[in-house]
Structure 1
């Protein structure tokens, strides 16, 4: 028997047989709708928790805890976990699994039945009140990137994450300018901090096994939007990023002609014949700033003309 089928040597963690037993007793079947692929290997979830470097005193948000494999590995470190689970039967079943497998951790665990894309700090008061917290999750492949960006936008005290995602998503999140896979996720994540790949995960540690490989991405936050002006600058910058990559093969001048005055490129020191895939987030931000400045100058010029004409009469 493979060691992932026998949890006896893994403390309270879940092996393959445990996962299938809990799923059967709860009447749960993994669904494509929620992108569910449950981890059945204790070694893998311990590796994720170890990579996240969480422990006593750490606060963790886990998105998509499923049947609790990774949840238990995080709790095993001594960290406190707030789990966000979209599937009602799974959210309802999870506290019982924690109580059964790791009763000493019950007081450090909470679960809310929410869509992670709709969660706000008021839904998670413990995390909102914490000085900092870490996201540790096996993210649903189909919504991994929007979940990451949304949580970074809404939680200024989210200081880092370690997530397991589809390998292609990991490649895009960590890609640099000039790469063929460098795109919107790569650029937007740069606004908040630095990301790196932290290893690959095989398909055989999941139930059901996905038809793609997975990888870990580790992220450290280096920038927080502290004021409304900061948030406004981010929104303007992200709008340019979206527009530039919506027409990836076009030059910046062609892709942004409706929103960026021609003079703004010169003001920002950016070649209008370049493509979006060559710019870092700092260059996009500079262009967003120049767009506002040039627009203001144009407006001032236009509004001053009638007065000048009137004075000359």
Structure 2
């Protein structure tokens, strides 16, 4: 498999670019796990971000109603056109997902999201822009129903982390605010060409129709979360004193009202506790 990918790239005179996060998946077991986790049907619209050499795209196409594969590297356009020519349900788009956006893809001529039962993002995401891509997708209205994505193992652990663990932080809460996150399996670095420096993991993010955390003001809630974790080694009280222009006694009173011990560290608070805290801090 690896030789096939190397020969294909060589034939088109393409060398993987590190700055574009080009580590192409070459492991059949990983491909199978992605497809199994995606649970694709003939009624699904699939968005693939970073089509690369089309090795995942050609596996998705027979299982889905339509595939929109976006690729930023124009050098790969003729390769993708040749490799995927046999499929009439693939639309190849050259561009940057962060500039085009999910909304832009869903508004392409001939694409009618209402005719599909689900919109799913299935992708081996480029390492260098994974975080903004995930947040951008989760904040879309409407958002995709499901994300099945390959990311760095460390990032996958952060996204799925629970309170009180080393990996838990502001990004964990940001993702879990919108979706139910599950780390499906580890994917070793040897499953890619060229090999990255770290292992990856397959993530399944089921996006919920409504946020999983109830709070009065989403922006204020996230500002409190970010402020708390910016002083991770401090207590929640001391961390927020850096952020709020309040007296210690005043802040401690609000913490007590929502039953949060002022001596706790931010990483021990659940998203629900942060929501209660943010709401009471907004009260006059």
TM-score, normalization by structure 1: 0.78
Q: 1:266–1:119: structure 2 CA closer, same or farther, 3 Å change rule?
A: farther
- Alpha-carbon offset, residue 209 of structure 1: 1.4
Equivalenced residue count is: 271
Which residue of structure 2 aligns with residue 187 of structure 1?
A: 173
C-alpha distance in 2 between matches for 1:286 and 1:91? 50
C-alpha distance in 2 between matches for 1:272 and 1:147? 35
C-alpha distance in 2 between matches for 1:214 and 1:238? 27
Question: Structure 2: which 5+ residue stretches go unaligned?
Answer: none
Tell me the SS of whatever aligns to 1:69. Answer: coil
C-alpha distance in 2 between matches for 1:264 and 1:27? 63
Which residue of structure 1 aligns with residue 152 of structure 2?
A: 166
C-alpha distance in 2 between matches for 1:155 and 1:94? 30
Instruction: Identify the structure with bigger relative contact order (alpha carbons < 8 Å, sequence gap 6+).
Output: 2
Which residue of structure 2 aligns with residue 240 of structure 1?
A: 224
- Alpha-carbon offset, residue 92 of structure 1: 5.3
Structure 2 residue corresponding to 1:47, chosen from 33, 36, 40: 33
Please tell me whether the aligned partners of residues 43 and 118 of structure 2 are also in contact (alpha carbons under 8 angstroms): no
- Alpha-carbon offset, residue 186 of structure 1: 1.3
Q: Deviations over 1:233-279 (max 9, x none)?
A: 32222222221112211122222223375143234332232222111
Which residue of structure 2 aligns with residue 98 of structure 1?
A: 84
C-alpha distance in 2 between matches for 1:176 and 1:245? 14
The answer as to 2:59 corresponding to 1:73 is yes
- Alpha-carbon offset, residue 223 of structure 1: 4.2
- Alpha-carbon offset, residue 128 of structure 1: 5.6
C-alpha distance in 1 between matches for 2:77 and 2:254? 50
C-alpha distance in 2 between matches for 1:62 and 1:211? 24
Please tell me whether the aligned partners of residues 87 and 113 of structure 1 are also in contact (alpha carbons under 8 angstroms): yes
Structure 2 residue corresponding to 1:113, chosen from 88, 91, 94: 94
Structure 2 residue corresponding to 1:283, chosen from 231, 251, 273: 273
**Aligned runs of 1:106-145 on 2, under 5 Å?**
106=88, 108-124=89-105, 125=107, 126=111, 129=114, 132-145=118-131
Tell me the SS of whatever aligns to 1:119. Answer: helix
Please tell me whether the aligned partners of residues 66 and 85 of structure 1 are also in contact (alpha carbons under 8 angstroms): yes
Please tell me whether the aligned partners of residues 174 and 186 of structure 1 are also in contact (alpha carbons under 8 angstroms): yes
**Aligned runs of 1:224-303 on 2, under 5 Å?**
224=210, 233-257=217-241, 258-259=243-244, 262=251, 263-293=253-283, 297=284
C-alpha distance in 1 between matches for 2:245 and 2:205? 31
Q: Which runs of 4+ in 1 moved over 6 A?
A: none
Please tell me whether the aligned partners of residues 45 and 64 of structure 2 are also in contact (alpha carbons under 8 angstroms): no
C-alpha distance in 2 between matches for 1:163 and 1:248? 28
**Larger of the two Rg values belongs to structure:** 1
Please tell me whether the aligned partners of residues 62 and 84 of structure 1 are also in contact (alpha carbons under 8 angstroms): yes
C-alpha distance in 2 between matches for 1:174 and 1:29? 34
Please tell me whether the aligned partners of residues 198 and 218 of structure 1 are also in contact (alpha carbons under 8 angstroms): yes
Please tell me whether the aligned partners of residues 45 and 113 of structure 2 are also in contact (alpha carbons under 8 angstroms): no
Of Structure 1 and Structure 2, which has the larger fraction of its residues in helix?
A: 1
Tell me the SS of whatever aligns to 1:74. Answer: helix
